[in-house]
Amino acid sequence: MSTRSIFDAAHLRDNFEKSGININFIPVIWKYVIKNPNLEWDEIPSLPLSAYALLRSKFKTLTSNVHSVIDSSDEVTTKLLIKLQNGEFVEAVIMRYDTRLGKYGGKPRSGGPRSTLCISSQVGCKMGCKFCATGSMGFKNNLSSGEIVEQLVHASHFSEIRNVVFMGMGEPLNNYTAVVEAIRIMLGSPFRLSPKRITVSTVGVIHAINKLQKDLPGLNLAVSLHAPVQDIRCHIMPAARAFPLEKLMDTLQVYQKNSKQKIFVEYIMLDAINDEEQHAHQLGKLLESFEVVVNLIPFNSIGSLSRYRTSGEEKVSRFQKTLRGTYNIRTTIRKQMGQDISGACGQLVVNSSDRTLDASTDIEDLGTSR
């Protein structure tokens, strides 16, 4: 990459320090770029002359651009197809919520409209989950921290983003350094997102989970469990072989002990695979010693790639009642958003013929009610 994104923080900071330029100018530069991504470097006032020369020679305001924008028919979901500098594509999905329309604890919820952004961390994915279209792409490359942050910059011109979820294309913890750096940028000036409003989802990359808690305390962790026993996990998620369920649960126990935070558990409902009464009891017993929120996710068709069917509403409801009633585990059913634009959970795939993310429940609000 000959010219780097201005949001590649480590590279920018290193160049500033080597040139004797005060790194405190960096948030100022970002603020101007966020407001006007098409600006010329000379339009940013009061920088040292050496900074202008450095920026012109080594950095771009943005290395990606919004190739297309698709809105769902209900106008609550917007899918951005983003073209990267290397010619590859990723997607980011904006999901709009109005908390006044729901209830919490039987009482009307406070607040109002806000938006959650679902971000990609890789082009493709190595995990190969059989129920997810992204897995059919294979892995192409990691995104830089700048390319990750640029998704937030692009989205901010369509909606005011309050929450960010790393639930798009790729396994975030397989691109650990870039994801952590991107989140640190989002937490700092000028973005200033709260760690409580950022969620990282993982299939369970054991060695990185506790490291994440140490590097980014206060962040929300979501684990794509999808099955209560190892053999089913391995069947639908081949990468689970590298992350044995017993070791994963031990890791999550340590994570929760250190973080003192709820863990979000994502569970896709696959008819006759993982949605029977026995599975609900197995999952309840597996999680009863944790403080978790289980999010049951209706399976979304991925066309000819799909070998599964979604569980019926009655089955999903019964599964939820078992977890709640027998094991007192807080359990939600994910509201599907963006299905008509292939922007719902597991539908993300980008190839030469179809530039087609994971629409998430606004789980950060569940996490703040500790």
Length of the chain: 370
Q: In the predicted model, what is the mean pLDDT of residues 341-352?
A: 45
Q: Among the options 40, 91, 132, 160, which is catalytic? A: 91
Residues 6+ apart with CB under 8 A from 133: 302, 303, 305, 346, 347, 348, 349, 356
Q: Return the ∠ at Cα 319 (arms to 325 and 131), rounded to 5°.
A: 150
Cα–Cα distance between 350 and 149 in angstroms, integer? Answer: 20
Q: What's the pLDDT score for residue 72?
A: 87
Which uninterrupted H or E stretch holds 257?
Answer: helix 245-259
Tracing tokens 């794509």 back to the chain, one arrives at 224
Cα–Cα distance between 298 and 311 in angstroms, integer? Answer: 7
The pLDDT tens digits for 262-281 are 999 999 999 999 999 999 99
Percent of the chain with pLDDT over 70: 85
The pLDDT tens digits for 172-185 are 999 999 999 999 99
Report strand pairing: 161-166 vs 198-202: parallel
User: Mean pLDDT score of the chain, rounded to an integer?
Assistant: 88
Q: Is 91 a catalytic residue?
A: yes
Of the listed ranges 37-41, 270-274, 303-307, the least confidently predicted one is 303-307
| Residue 10 token pair | 């480590």
Q: Among the options 125, 129, 132, 345, which is catalytic? A: 345
Contacts 24+ apart (CB under 8 A), 238-244: 238/127, 238/128, 238/129, 238/130, 239/126, 239/127, 239/128, 239/129, 239/171, 239/203, 240/203, 240/204, 243/203, 243/204, 243/205, 243/206
Q: Return the ∠ at Cα 19 (arms to 17 and 21), rounded to 5°.
A: 65
CB-based contact 249:229 (threshold 8 Å): no
Cα–Cα distance between 241 and 249 in angstroms, integer? Answer: 14
Q: Is 192 exposed, middle or buried (0-12, 13-18, 19+ CB in 10 A)?
A: exposed
Q: What's the pLDDT score for residue 242?
A: 95
Cα–Cα distance between 337 and 153 in angstroms, integer? Answer: 22
Report strand pairing: 220-224 vs 198-202: parallel
Percent of the chain with pLDDT over 90: 76
Q: What's the pLDDT score for residue 102?
A: 54
Residue 33 to residues 36, 108, 231, 347: CA-CA distances in angstroms? 5, 39, 49, 32
Cα–Cα distance between 135 and 126 in angstroms, integer? Answer: 7
pLDDT class of 100 with cuts at 50, 70, 90 = low
CB-based contact 365:350 (threshold 8 Å): no
Q: What's the pLDDT score for residue 155?
A: 98
The pLDDT tens digits for 60-89 are 999 999 999 999 888 899 999 999 999 999
| Residue 312 token pair | 């019926």
Q: Is 313 a catalytic residue?
A: no
pTM (predicted TM-score): 0.89
Q: Count CB atoms within 10 A of the CB of residue 3.
A: 12
ω before 298 within 30° of 0 (cis)? no
SS3 for 296? Answer: strand
Phi, psi for 225 (deg, rounded to 5): -85, -55
